[in-house]
């Protein structure tokens, strides 16, 4: 075949394969040149039949081959090594792809209690907690060297990494403890409806309030930070002899620690003579968890209906824990 005839055949077959890039067009020309047009048309016919039946998967099974990919896959399997080397060049043998890992079940938010509850027996440990609140404070209560306010957050839509469940719509209550000296610096900003406080500190769950207690380490506002940046720009642009030594940072007054909750009741020491040690250890952890759930349920039930946040979920956790305890005791003959 002449070069013009090969080019025409390449364009005709490439159009049916959906190939437009230079590399597959070059490979297609090599197939026609070394194997003949009849061979290329026969492979094209088989390719289109395979596509009509659902296509052909790649080696690792993660996606379908393109139509052109099916065509060249069939060519490689039909021609001898010498022709394959002329058309495709010398290629290093590929190691077989490892089998795909087994599919994991999807996470269902409404089933999270049963999934998470067993994790409590082997919970990890946090060494440092940092939290940043940005928003408007509510009503304040002043004590000696201390200002207390509350802030509520309702999660809105957010772009989260793949696999992370969407944010729940349940409001979260934050009780914020701010040193009076720090509050004086932002008190005016707190009154500005167009400004927002920026509170940084550490946090701890407060079971009495059923919310998060935030102990402020630094407090500022968006407008104060903007003004600070503008002042730094002006200072850096000023002549060297007009610069003043920066004043040392103010050290906030230490905040009073939150009164710790009463210690939980000790879990009963349960021993099943016929059970392995790890089963007895797990059973003891379940009894301890059930005791904590009962205490929390009692605390929540004593509050007004509008403040019983988490009561239903805690009841469900207790029910699941009691069911697991019963299953273990039945299995080992208690």
The string of pLDDT tens digits covering residues 179-192 is: 999 999 999 988 89
Q: Which CATH superfamily is domain 124-157+166-239 in?
A: Nucleic acid-binding proteins (2.40.50.140)
Question: Residue 262 — very low, low, confident or very high, per pLDDT cuts 50/70/90?
Answer: low
- pLDDT of 256 above 60: no
pLDDT at 93: 63
pLDDT digits (tens, 9 = 90+) for 15-44: 888 888 998 899 889 898 889 989 989 999
Question: Side by side, which strands form the sheet with 131-135?
Answer: 131-135, 197-206, 211-221, 172-179, 146-153, 140-143
| Candidate from 117-121, 158-162, 287-291 with smallest mean pLDDT | 158-162
pLDDT at 152: 87
Query: 253-256 contacts: CB < 8 A, separation 24 or more?
Result: 253/145, 253/179, 253/180, 253/181, 254/179, 255/146, 255/177, 255/178, 255/179, 255/215, 255/216, 256/146, 256/177
If you average pLDDT over residues 215-226, what whole number do you get? 93
CA count, 13 A, side-chain hemisphere, 122 = 5
Q: Look-up: residue for tokens 């772009």?
A: 159
* Rounded Cα distance, 137 and 334, in Å: 55
Residue among 117, 42, 107 at smallest CA distance from 75: 42
Domain boundaries, the chain: 3-88, 124-157+166-239, 277-331
Is-contact 100 62, C-beta < 8 A? yes
pLDDT digits (tens, 9 = 90+) for 306-324: 777 778 888 888 898 899 8
pLDDT digits (tens, 9 = 90+) for 36-86: 989 989 999 999 898 888 888 888 888 889 998 899 999 988 888 888 888
Helix axes 22-35, 81-88, angle to 10 degrees: 150
* Rounded Cα distance, 119 and 306, in Å: 30
- pLDDT of 249 above 80: no
Helix (H, G, I), strand (E, B) or coil at 281: helix
If you average pLDDT over residues 106-134, what whole number do you get? 87
In the chain, the percentage of residues whose pLDDT exceeds 70 is: 87
Domain 3-88 and domain 124-157+166-239 have a common topology: no
> Phi and psi for 309 in degrees, rounded to 5?
-70, 130
Right CATH number for 3-88 from 3.40.50.1370, 3.20.190.10, 1.10.10.1440, 1.10.579.10? 1.10.10.1440
pLDDT at 121: 85
pLDDT at 267: 46
């Amino acid at each position: 075949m002449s070069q013009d005839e090969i080019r025409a055949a390449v364009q005709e077959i490439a159009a049916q394969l959906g190939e437009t890039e230079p590399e597959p067009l070059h490979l297609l020309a090599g197939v026609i040149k070394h194997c003949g047009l009849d061979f290329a048309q026969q492979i094209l016919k088989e390719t289109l039949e395979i596509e009509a039946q659902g296509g052909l998967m790649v080696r690792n099974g993660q996606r379908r081959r393109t139509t052109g990919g099916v065509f060249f896959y069939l060519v490689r399997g039909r021609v001898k090594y010498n022709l394959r080397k002329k058309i495709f060049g010398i290629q290093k043998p590929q190691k077989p792809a490892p089998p795909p890992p087994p599919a994991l079940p999807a996470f269902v938010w409404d089933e999270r209690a049963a999934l998470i509850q067993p994790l409590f027996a082997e919970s990890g440990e946090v060494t440092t907690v940092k939290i940043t609140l940005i928003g408007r404070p509510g009503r304040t209560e002043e004590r000696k060297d201390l200002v207390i306010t509350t802030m509520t957050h309702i999660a809105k839509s957010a772009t989260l990494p793949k696999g992370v469940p969407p944010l729940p719509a349940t409001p979260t209550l934050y009780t914020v403890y701010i040193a009076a000296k720090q509050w004086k610096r932002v008190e005016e900003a707190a009154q500005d409806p167009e400004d927002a406080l920026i509170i940084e500190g550490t946090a701890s769950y407060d079971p009495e309030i059923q919310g998060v207690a935030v102990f402020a380490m630094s407090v500022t506002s968006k407008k104060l930070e903007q003004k600070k940046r503008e002042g730094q720009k002006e200072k850096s642009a000023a002549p060297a002899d007009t610069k003043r030594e920066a004043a040392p940072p103010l050290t906030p007054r230490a905040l009073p620690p939150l009164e710790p909750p009463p210690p939980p009741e000790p879990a009963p020491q349960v021993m099943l003579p016929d059970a392995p040690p790890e089963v007895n250890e797990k059973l003891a952890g379940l009894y301890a968890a059930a005791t904590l759930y009962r205490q929390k349920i009692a605390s929540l039930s004593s509050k007004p209906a509008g403040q019983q946040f988490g009561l239903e979920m805690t009841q469900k956790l207790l029910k699941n824990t009691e069911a697991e305890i019963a299953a273990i005791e039945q299995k080992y003959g208690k």
